Structure 1
Amino acid sequence: MPETDEPDTGDEPRYRERPVSFARRSGRMSDGQERAWNQLGSFYAVPVERDQAVLSVRPGAQVDPATLFGRSAPLIVEIGSGQGHAIVAAAETAPATDFLAVEVFRAGLARTMLDADRAGVRNLRLVEANAPEVLEHLLPPASVDELWIFFSDPWHKNRHTKRRLISPDFAPLAARVLKPGGALRLATDWQDYALQMREVMSDAAGFAAGFDGAWAPRFEGRVMTAFERKGIAKGRDIRDLVYLRTDDDLR
């Protein structure tokens, strides 16, 4: 049944054909986050033309990365950037590369803006939207050098696994935006989800495994975040995977 971005109270209109991979939170931002959003959003936040749902992207609302950043440079996109710790650190370390953070929780985006501004990071932009629609409508084909998805919600209850981001429907969207040779990097601390990711991507057209053996080594470009520390503290194995975009024609 189609779903909206909104919590299901039983009486909202339903706009989407597939469940989204997040549940919207209605908590208020702090005063500092509000100020960051209002003062820094004009630089960091990418304006998005919406469809019917709050966090949707209107079909045809494509943006040009070179226009967004004012230059042509390699582009790395992180989906589910959370508080922005990983992508701000990466953008600070690699000023010759452009970074785009995709997140649905505004408080996390506001925190990302604050940290980026304090660090003097200017090669970062933020998108508040449903990630599959960003890949389908907002980004041009073959425009992304790397796509990062670290510790996305595992939706570990059986009745919720349909909400997982990494699914057969997701793979063609990732293939659409990645350049030939581009990398899809995945990480999770949930073994069942890791197995699903590997199964999905092993069968995905337009991708080849970028590792030998059962799992990829830990991605050195990923800083240690609260999600990873929490998983390690609970005794979970951190699983990394990386898949390279082939030049297969998917049309």
Structure 2
Amino acid sequence: MLEDRAPRNRTAPARRVPSFVHQRSRLTDGQHAAWARWWPVRGRDVPALVSGREPYDPQAWFGRRAPLVLEIGSGMGETTAALAAAAPEVDHLAVEVYEPGLAQLLMRAAEAGLTNLQLLRGDAVELLCACVPPDSLDGIRIFFPDPWPKRRHHKRRLVQPAFVALAASRLRPGAPLHMATDWADYADQMRAVCDAEPLLRNTADTPDGWTPRPGWRPMTKFEQRARSEGRDVRDLIYVRV
């Protein structure tokens, strides 16, 4: 688990249980071609940024100063590409460990001609701890993180008190932390953890405290399947106070 509420830049994260299992998967021919063409332009490895071998410098990457949003766990990139295309005035960072997903997102970005999207391969917690300055992000999105449904694996879930404290510290005042999940007990955990974080305020104005699904968040095939299987999808939007 992370120990500091607001770790300093260039400090290694404390020993913790990772929220992911890194499994290398083969790329399709199309994904391999996209990786070879676009990763040197749009992609960076988190370990290189954490070690200082490469600078963390979004303004240089995008060639401008603009609002910056971080998506943690971009999956196959369907939502990420759509949101980047819908908000060209915002710069988007997508951090993911799954190479086929990153490759697929590279394909989507190239097809859409996106210039406001950069991809990061590696651990988002290490990135936040060592590279992202406090009060620097204009939003963090965590859509459908791995639910680790077995009780003995709940410690692997990303949204835990120390992580939320870290993420909140990297947001600018007024910037949102937006989460969505189709697992009811994980939704309850997210809400309890974020309600307990003094840097965050729940924006929901509904009696039950949940945020109605925003119409601008794309409906992915994953979410459609969850709904067809009878799992309600919960959105939570907090802002940094």
Contact 1:77-1:147 within 8 A present in 2 as well: yes
Q: Give 1:217 shift.
A: 1.1
- Say which of 162, 172, 178 aligns to 2:171: 178
* Runs of 4+ residues over 3 Å off in structure 1: 47-50, 56-62
Shift, 1:219, TM fit: 2.3
Name the structure 2 match of 1:69: 62
Q: Kindly indicate whether the alpha-carbon contact (under 8 Å) linking 1:147 and 1:184 is maintained by their aligned counterparts in 2.
A: yes
**From 92, 95, 120, the counterpart of 2:85:** 92
Amino acid at match of 2:235: D
* Letter aligned with residue 25 of structure 1: Q
2:240 counterpart of 1:242: no
- Contact 2:72–2:140 (CA under 8 A) maintained in structure 1: yes
**The one of 199, 204, 214 aligned to 1:219:** 214
- Give me the whole-angstrom Cα distance separating, in 2, the residues matched to 1:36 and 1:61: 22
TM-score relative to the length of structure 2:
0.89
Provide the aligned length of Structure 1 versus Structure 2: 229
**Counterparts of 1:68-217 in structure 2 under 5 Å?**
68-212=61-205, 213=207, 214-217=209-212
Deviations along 1:32-83, whole A, 9 cap, x unmatched?
Answer: 2111111101211024444xxxxx9337976122112110011111111001
CA contact (8 A) 2:46 2:127 kept: no
Write 1 or 2 for the structure with the bigger share of helix.
Answer: 2
Tell which deviates more after alignment, 150-159 or 212-221: 212-221
Which amino acid is the alignment partner of residue 144 of structure 2?
F
Structure 1 unaligned regions, length at least 5: 3-14, 51-55, 247-251
Larger deviation, residues 183-192 vs 209-218? 209-218
Match of 1:9 in 2: none
Deviation of 1:17 after TM superposition, in Å, equals 1.4
* Alpha-carbon distance in 1 for matches of 2:167, 2:52: 17
Q: Which has the higher contact order (CA 8 A, sep 6+)?
A: 2
User: What is the one-letter code of the residue matched to 1:226?
Assistant: K
CA RMSD of aligned residues (A): 2.0
Contact 2:97 2:123 in 1 (8 A): yes
1:53 aligned partner? none
User: For the residues of structure 2 that align with 1:221 and 1:99, how far apart are their CA atoms?
Assistant: 16
Percent of matched pairs sharing the same residue = 45
In the alignment, what sits opposite 1:17? 15
1:233 aligned to 228, 232, 237, which one?
228
Query: Offset at 1:222?
Result: 1.3
C-alpha spacing 1:42/1:102, structure 2 compared with 1 (3 Å): same
